[in-house]
Amino acid sequence: MAVEETAQPVTAPAGTVEQPTAPAATAQAVTMRGITKSFGGVPVLKEVDFDLRAGEIHALLGGNGAGKSTLMKILVGVYSHDGGSYEVAGRAVDFHSVEEARAAGVGMVFQEFSLIPTLTVAQNVFLTREARGRGGFIDDREMERRTRELFASMHVEVDPRRPLDELPTAFWQLTEIAKALSQNASVLIMDEPTAALAKAETVELFALMRRLRDQGIAIVYISHRIEEVFEICDRVTVLRDGRHVGTHDVASITPRQLIDEIVGRKLEHELEYQERPGRGEVLLEARGLTTQTRLRGIDLKLHEGEVIGLAGLMGSGRTELARALFGIDPLVSGEILLRGTPIQVGTPRAAIARGIALIPEDRRAQGLILDHPVRENLLLPLLDRLSRAGFIDDAEGDRQADAFVRRLSIQVRSTSQPTGTLSGGNQQKVVIAKWLGIEPRVLIMDEPTAGVDIGTKGEIVNMIRAFADAGNAVIIISSELPELLAVSDRVLILRDGTVEREMDRHEIHREEDLHHAIQGVAVQ
Amino acid sequence: MTDQPAASERFNLGRARSVDWRQYIIYIGFLVVFAIFAATLNDKGFLTSTNLLNVFRQTAIISIKAVAMTFVIGAGQIDLSVGAVAGLSSVTTALALGTWGLPLPVAVAVGLFTGFAVGIVNGFLLAFIGIPSFLVTLATLGIVNGLAQWLSNTAPIPILNDTFVYIFGSGDVGPIPSLLIWTAVVFAVGHVTLRKTTYGRRVLATGGNSVAASFSGVDVRLIRFAVMTVMGTIAGLAGILFAGRLHSGRFEFGAGAELSVIAAVILGGTSLFGGRATVIGTLLGSLMIGLINNGLTLASLPTSQQFIVRGLIIILAVALAKKR
């Protein structure tokens, strides 16, 4: 569901919400000097400087493990710092808790939202700061009134009495922002805010960010999406390996220069489409797939050696199509054929037996057992192959796990390290590696590069190409169009659970062509 | 909708990873408790081999159930009916041997089948109907207990078969009590199954993240069904051993045992939320509970105070083992 369906602009009643008066554009909101931080003896920040001005949107970029999140968590009091100092609005501070930072006007919108899904919007916004009425009882009416005002000031209409889990994900983010604003935040830190949003929702969020900036709020914007930096940000700071690499006006730098700074080496032309050898026979075919989840008569033909991209807005049915092909959601009607023979994929287990693998959308919730060692995650789909009469051959398992780690250059101390302690990019490599082991013929990837640093993106893209070149087939879903365009030989554009349009890669000359197609605008 | 990670997860990402002594707390705790009792209760015969074998004998029936419970909890489930099932199976076994006059092997099969049947019902309702195991087994706990009272008219049913009581619970093979042999066998099978078989690995995967496990080709419903069924059967075995040890079948055998069983498993280091489990830890956990019971009895504490001290020791151990 897109935000625009529910979020109509409303005219904010003047003066109902206190806004800080806009300070001069040059006022320093945050100054961090020489910040150092180590975890268990490993330095993650090395004398980092960071300047944030009031009324600017400042991008903070860097690969996974560059130190962006750590730096910001120091600023909001989640972590303490080992060395250096920082000031907020010209006053030296040293926050020891999120509450302290919030009270000083520094709010963070967490990557994993710190919200309680079963509570209402208003209850979440005022969590632990509930308005009190007569006799000390919670005054729900008052909280609802103030929540409505806050959202009105953000030009978003919402029913504050709705529980969060009944609202689309995009609203969660807005609730986080409202929560920060309710404490008169003058500094707002947003960590990958668009990761879960479709394009239309992102547009809404950016409009909101611009309004907040114009009210004098300083915004730190952490993202992996370079194009967004150029769309929304005023300045950009790049960190690499815990060091400050550079701070620039966005107007004075090109995307290519920026990527080079982040990666620290010239990124090869990995993200440019490469013509690949012709496709072979039809491998997987879907006819009239219809599910209760969203699909309405999807047809699809996937050839050997082919990569198909699925594009569309959130809710267009991309993920649902992947789930149906992998046997998670049952079919109401339609059929799936493998090499022309109808097959039944009622469960993931049956799909796997047919050589179909899925790299799910949410690697933390669906792809990995975070508490378990890397090794156990890698071997889970392989258990049957690694065992005789139900007993696992541990030596062979170790060999295989080590081989995967080398093959995808997964950075781990050892394969017995808990998977949850790896960086996002390395976690994603584990998910990919565990599937390559069963040698699938069809690989379905749902947002394989979400939250992954740019170096790893290149590696994943190359991996997809090599897999397809070997005569296998790939279906890739991605909201990140550069990646989608880098590997797809054809792109299917989904809308409302149907294939609205099919585009050959050669019909797409620029990213904008695909954007237009997804948004349903005619291509000139 | 994606699941939200637990709030605590965000904040411990950067915590320094040192050697985590907390996961060994059960070993340390076991040694400490043993040393304290050895030092203070030596004059009361704590360290004699008779007494130590007694500890094993008294703990055996809890320990055996705790092995199966390790799998249940490891798979992210719970079974509250284990005590009641043991009671019912002691009654059916005693009835089969006495009132119904069945031969010994058949009577044993009746006892095992009793537990197996309850396990199937528990597993079916959990895995295929989707009722949380806590609720399913809370309900079957009552039903099973009621059945046992009904079948036995709430009276103990004596067992006069000497071979039966010798094999199951009362006899000794040389110096070793048969209960100890049963315990050793169940623990050995449990340990190897958990660590070395695909089944064990899939149980832990199911408990660790059932969605990811399912997406990786694990039939999580079958796993849930299996752990509950095995649990029921092992509780049936425990009931047979109860009957053998006390020469009778009684509905109240095992009443409340579920709490000791769960405590033993958690003390041993198995995660109450599933995904992490250890049979060795469970062995030490149940022995620790046995030691505490034995020591407090030797110290001639009244039962009322034993309850209190036992509770306090469990809280202390779990609090120390807790990851910060």
User: Model confidence over B13-54: pLDDT tens digits?
Assistant: 333 344 566 667 778 888 888 899 889 888 888 888 888 888
CA dist., res. A42 & res. A260, Å (int): 25
Give the residue from A19, A44, A37 showing the smallest Cα distance to A181: A19
For position A508, what pLDDT does the model report? 83
Q: Is residue A521 within 8 Å of residue A505, measured between CB atoms?
A: no
Q: With an 8 Å Cβ cutoff, is B16 touching chain A?
A: yes
Q: Which residues contact A226 (CB under 8 A, 6 or more apart)?
A: A61, A255, A258, A259, A454
Instruction: Tell me whether residue A10 is exposed, middle or buried, using C-beta atoms within 10 angstroms of its C-beta: 0 to 12, 13 to 18, 19 or more.
Output: middle
The CA-atom distances, in angstroms, between B232 and each of B68, B124, B212, B238 are 9, 12, 27, 10
Q: For residue A330, is pLDDT > 50?
A: yes
Residue B273 to chain A, least CA–CA distance (Å):
11
For position B167, what pLDDT does the model report? 92
Tell me which of B216, B218, B270 to substitute to probe the interface with A (most A C-beta atoms closer than 10 Å): B216
Residue A380 to chain B, least CA–CA distance (Å):
7
CA dist., res. B93 & res. B105, Å (int): 10
* % chain A with pLDDT above 90: 42
Average pLDDT over every residue of A91-114: 84
For position A8, what pLDDT does the model report? 42
Q: Is residue B70 within 8 Å of residue B278, measured between CB atoms?
A: yes
Higher-confidence residue of B119 and B263: namely B119
Under an 8 A CB cutoff, do A390 and B2 touch?
no
Give the single-character DSSP code of A445: E
The CA-atom distances, in angstroms, between A11 and each of A151, A153, B143 are 11, 8, 62
Helix axes A454-469, A424-436, angle to 10 degrees: 10
CA dist., res. A5 & res. A201, Å (int): 10
Of B17, B215, B271, the CB nearest to A360: B215
What does pLDDT average to over chain B?
88
Under an 8 A CB cutoff, do A112 and B204 touch?
no
CA dist., res. A129 & res. B3, Å (int): 25
At A521, is the secondary structure helix, strand, or coil? Answer: coil
pLDDT in tens, B134-178: 999 999 999 999 999 999 999 999 999 999 999 998 888 888 889
Q: Is residue A465 within 8 Å of residue A271, measured between CB atoms?
A: no
Tokens of A286: 């879907």
Please determine, for the modelled complex, whether the ipTM score is greater than 0.90.
no
Q: With an 8 Å Cβ cutoff, is B209 touching chain A?
A: yes
For position B102, what pLDDT does the model report? 93
Of B14, B18, B201, the CB nearest to A383: B201
Q: How many residues does chain B have?
A: 324
For position A44, what pLDDT does the model report? 83
Angle at B119 (CA atoms; ends B213, B184), nearest 5 degrees: 85
CA dist., res. A308 & res. A286, Å (int): 13
What is the four-CA torsion angle of A494, A498, A499, A500, rounded to 10 degrees? -80
In B, minimum Cα distance to A111 occurs at B10
For position B78, what pLDDT does the model report? 97
Q: For residue A275, is pLDDT > 90?
A: no
Average pLDDT over every residue of A462-483: 89
pLDDT in tens, A127-185: 877 888 888 888 888 899 999 988 888 888 888 999 888 887 778 888 888 888 888 88
Residue A78 to chain B, least CA–CA distance (Å):
7
At A408, is the secondary structure helix, strand, or coil? Answer: coil
pLDDT in tens, A206-265: 988 999 999 899 999 988 778 888 999 999 999 988 899 999 999 999 887 887 787 765
pLDDT in tens, A394-440: 999 999 999 999 988 888 888 988 998 888 888 999 999 999 888 99
Of A369, A383, A421, the CB nearest to B209: A369
Of A39, A110, A114, the CB nearest to B16: A39
Average pLDDT over every residue of A338-350: 91
At A5, is the secondary structure helix, strand, or coil? Answer: helix
At A257, the amino acid letter reads Q
Tell me which of B11, B191, B198 to substitute to probe the interface with A (most A C-beta atoms closer than 10 Å): B198
Q: For residue B266, is pLDDT > 70?
A: yes
Tokens of A343: 């097959």
Give the single-character DSSP code of A32: E
Q: With an 8 Å Cβ cutoff, is B196 touching chain A?
A: yes
For position A41, what pLDDT does the model report? 66
Of A114, A165, A420, the CB nearest to B1: A165
Largest CA distance in chain B: 66
Q: With an 8 Å Cβ cutoff, is B198 touching chain A?
A: yes
Q: Is the pTM of this model over 0.80?
A: no
Residue A352 to chain B, least CA–CA distance (Å):
7
Residue B61 to chain A, least CA–CA distance (Å):
28
Residue A119 to chain B, least CA–CA distance (Å):
14
